[in-house]
Structure 1
């Protein structure tokens, strides 16, 4: 149990093994036990047990799935590392993550950083096989514009899934992709009720002089002031 508790601390805190190690358990022991348990399938069984328990107590939203990829650095290389297109060709990996409608991770696929997202969609969706035949009849897969191509649509059609894919060349928000229309009220507030909030103060234009010209003055128009003036009487005098 000591080694397992240490591994949980590494996952939760994101710290190095040397930072978690102490007199009761060394970093070498943690790495050795981790590799042994991975080869024995202990973590795979534990992960499935956690998902099954969550599904019974709260419920997984398997009718709405989201797949997306992210690129992370891999300075030490590795079997799955490749040239990163966003890090000047340095070594990196891409993680294609599958989550349910509430953001609960269901599985991921690791590949080289230069792999296209759409090429990783099929192996990522295959992670649903862990649930066997306990899947909804109608499944909707939400994807961003990186999956907007014919191969993705053909794959979803072959799997019998509906796809909601953002169009390339058009910027969309996260709630618009997921269909949450109520959040659009926050993006478009009623401006007439809050006039001139983006102009909290009015400052005058002051010409900058060099040290030799600091005693040289320009005439200031009467309608300009050299001090900051608030636009309303109740404006706070200091930041909270």
Structure 2
């Protein structure tokens, strides 16, 4: 299992994550059982994300009980750990000049959802309950920010929140940056108000126009975001949403994106 743990969470990623993990609560009166190692718990959570197994099926070989793994995941999600790790890896990429700000690409994809908030009848799955994941990436397909909504929410509603959610990322030279030069999107985002909103922020809209531009031409730039979504759904926990709380599914989605960043960083 040690070899599996190293493949799931390499030492370099573990070194980056450890300082960001919030400290555990201490008992004022002292005593009690010793706290399970945070590194083992983090690896177990990554295994759940990657394999898609239910929490109750978590192998005991990780040295972490099911209640401990789920409780720590809930605590860390509430503390914003996944967002912090996401930004830390983006800073590493940005400081090495590995983020291409010349163009950002936006798209969404529907996933089936069993229950919980931010679900709705999916227009692409015969009206079954579902959610939609939204991803905004740089020109090379590295996701800069992610989000979720109900499956029956129009894609265009995600544009403003995702653009506003891009964190200020470290650059190789100069100040931090959080704004791409251009934004590419498909015809679902072809709304004059959105174009005006982007121009006000000095972002050039490259949104396909309905009835004018062909899908083939659009695909020359958008294939990278489709590949990114395929990377994310390669983590089996993301293919079907089992989490009742949207924040927990978003936590897994952010963690999946973080692992994608790390693979790029490690090359």
Place the TM-score, normalised by the shorter chain, in its bin. 0.5 to 0.7
**Aligned equivalents of 1:69 and 1:3: distance in 2?**
31
Q: Please tell me whether the aligned partners of residues 198 and 205 of structure 2 are also in contact (alpha carbons under 8 angstroms).
A: yes
Q: What is the CA–CA distance in structure 1 between the aligned matches of 2:50 and 2:223, rounded to whole Å?
A: 32
Of 55, 62, 68, the residue aligned with 2:101 is 62
Q: Does the CA contact (< 8 Å) of 2:186 and 2:208 recur in 1?
A: yes
Gaps of 5+ in 2: 1-38, 225-267
- How far the C-alpha of 1:178 sits from its partner, in A, is 5.5
CA contact under 8 A between 1:63 and 1:138: conserved in structure 2?
yes
1:27/1:129 Cα in 2 relative to 1: closer, same or farther (>3 Å)?
same
Matches within 5 A, 1:128-139: 128-131=166-169, 134-135=176-177, 139=181
Query: Cα gap change, 1:100/1:140 in structure 2, threshold over 3 Å: closer, same or farther?
Result: same
Q: Which runs of 5+ in 1 are unaligned?
A: 181-240
Q: Provide the secondary structure at the position in 1 that maps to 2:216.
A: coil
Corresponding residue for residue 191 of structure 2: 149
Separation in structure 1 between the aligned mates of residue 177 and residue 118 of structure 2, nearest angstrom: 30
The equivalent residue for 1:11 is 49
What corresponds to 2:32 in structure 1?
A: none
Q: Greater shift after overlay, 157-166 or 117-126?
A: 157-166
- How many residue pairs align between the two structures? 179
In the aligned structure 2, how far is the partner of 1:3 from the partner of 1:128?
28
**Structure (1/2) with the larger helix percentage:** 2
Matches of 1:41 and 1:137 in 2, distance apart? 23
Alignment partner of 1:26 out of 53, 56, 65: 65
TM-score, normalised to structure 1's length?
0.66
Shift of 1:123: 0.3
> Aligned pair in 2 of structure 1 residues 138, 99: CA closer, same or farther (>3 Å)?
closer
Look up the SS of the partner of 1:102 in the other structure: coil
Q: Which residue of 1 is the match for residue 86 of structure 2?
A: 47
Cα RMSD for the two superposed structures: 2.5
Deviations 1:88-138 (A, max 9, x none): 222111111111111111111211111111111000111124438622776
- TM-score, structure 2 normalization: 0.60
The higher-RCO structure (CA 8 Å, 6+ apart) is 2
